[in-house]
Structure 1
Amino acid sequence: MSQKETFALLETILYEPFKGFYLLDQHIHRLLKAAIDFHTNDTSQFKIIPSFDQIKNFVEEKVPQDTNTFKRVRLLYNDSNEGLKVEYTDLGSDYKSNETLTEALLSKETLLTVILDTEAIPCSVTDPFILHKTTQRQIYNDARKRTQCGEKTFDVILWNKHHQITESSIANIAIQTDKGKWITPSLQCGLLPGVFRDKLLSSDENIIEGVITMDDLINAQKNGDPIVCFNSVRKIYRVQLLL
């Protein structure tokens, strides 16, 4: 995709009753970094970047902060006259999620089914539209279409030309080794640096960055080793790989 085409920077945020916006500061910092990076690469883009406080105040003003309803919030920012924009969807009052790897392992929830993409990601692992979250999601949408996500499976797992696992179309991924440690793909493999991923890596010594090959993931499923995906809205959830 040409960077001259229209797109918006995107952050998807969870609003939690009585707690507020989950990891909001981190989401804002990531959006600002994306704007700066795109502008550095092409000075015609994102010439005027709002401040941290402007974005935070905008979100807090635009999203009703009910006391009993979880919300999925989409924060968008582009170069058009729209500038900042917020959309939100109610998730109900009984929305549940796992914030730690231990909680996810103990969860009795049904494992969601994922499938490996049939093709490697068709771009460099340093492509800005992989490293930053935007509304330009052709790579992910094509992968979902190829594997009939929504019909056969919940999500698709992407991989690069070196047969290294990168991420799913909506989340980061990790597997547990036979020694009890968790491994999540390194950023050098080509993936979005998820806000929740950063939180896990900084707060849980049992998860580290590394390389997960396609064979590693397949063997994890065959051996019954836990596989999880995670993002800032769903947090951590168990998955099973369709072989």
Structure 2
Amino acid sequence: MGGAHDFALFTSTSYLAHDRACSLLPRHFARLRTAHAALAKELPESWCARVGMSTDVQMQDELDRAVKEARANGNEGDLRIRLSILSTGAPKAETFPLTPTPSYPVRLVLDDGPTRYDEPFLRYKTSQRAVYDDARARRGATLYPSPAASDPPFDVLLFNPSSQVTEATISNVAFRLSGDARDPFVTPRTECGLLEGVMRAELLERREVVEGAVTVEQVKEAARRGTLEIICFNGVRGVFPAYISPDDLE
């Protein structure tokens, strides 16, 4: 993975035209502050240890600028916004059209080997994304949803060396293995290794998911018997359903 100086912090949010606001914005700002402080300690040679963090006012002003620019360029719809903190400490917001969330579950596949969560770039969201990009490349995941099981998968489920599932490459996940609606969805514990997303924090606070450990074998067994339920969630899409095809477990 790249050097300690070669990264930006970032978080992704959505701007909904009818609300005229970004979703979960205080959580996004807090996430960036937490990452900056943690990396300053864990990577004392990095720019985070030398350069101060943007203020909430500066980040908000940059978001407002980016939305205004998007509107001036004719994009009146919902937006996906990537808010970065550059190595200068300055915020930078980039906007993209927000494509509709599919109405059907997206297909996930398990990675073909474990991911070691022994470096900070896998615990805090930065532009160092090679681990996630490589996992999708290995398994042919495209991040393009399709209702057809014969099409390439949407995303990849990662797991740690203890065979505990951790996350997908662009979202946190939660599982209900029993198929019983009375049972809670279980999202992997932070200690399993993962990026702690803003929607994950929101769902935990609402008690809509609980933390626990879910193993690869448990996921496979539930998929084979037809009781596996999966939800994915992130700061852009919110919560959306997913599935693993038993055919992908052969």
Could you tell me the TM-score, scaled by structure 2's length?
Answer: 0.83
Q: 1:122, 1:139 within 8 Å by CA — same for their partners in 2?
A: no
Determine which of 69, 72, 75 is the counterpart of 2:83.
Answer: 75
**Aligned partners of 2:15 and 2:183: how far apart in 1?**
32
- Relative to structure 1, the CA distance from residue 96 to residue 154 in structure 2 (aligned partners, 3 Å threshold; closer, same or farther) is closer
Post-superposition shift, 1:5? 4.0
**1:113 and 1:154 in contact (8 A); partners too:** yes
SS at match of 1:63: helix
In the TM superposition, what whole-angstrom CA distance separates every residue of 1:141-180 from its partner, at most 9, and x where no partner exists?
A: 1111111112621100000000000000000111124342
**Which of 123, 127, 131 is the equivalent residue of 1:131?**
123
How many residues align structurally? 226
**Aligned: 1:117 with 2:111:** yes
Partner of 1:59: 63
Unaligned runs of 5+ in 2: 143-150
Residue in structure 2 matching 1:89, options 74, 92, 96? 96
Contact 1:221 1:227 in 2 (8 A): no
User: Quick check: 2:10–2:127 contact (8 Å CA) kept in 1?
Assistant: yes
- The gaps in structure 1 that reach 5 residues or longer are 98-108
Distance 1:211 1:17 in 2: 38
Partner of 1:237: 240
- Pick aligned residue for 2:201 from 190, 198, 203: 198
SS of 1:220's partner is helix
Corresponding position of 2:213: 211
Counterpart code for 2:17 = P
Cα deviation 1:194-219 (Å, max 9, x = unaligned):
1000000101x342000010011112
Assess if the C-alpha contact under 8 Å between 2:11 and 2:28 holds in 1: yes
Q: CA contact under 8 A between 2:232 and 2:241: conserved in structure 1? A: yes
Partners of 1:33 and 1:61 in 2: CA distance: 24
User: Following TM superposition, by how much is the alpha carbon of 1:186 offset from its aligned partner in structure 2, in angstroms?
Assistant: 0.3
Does the 8 Å CA contact 1:75/1:84 hold for their aligned counterparts? yes
Instruction: Provide TM-score, normalisation by structure 1.
Output: 0.85
1:23 equivalent to 2:24? Answer yes
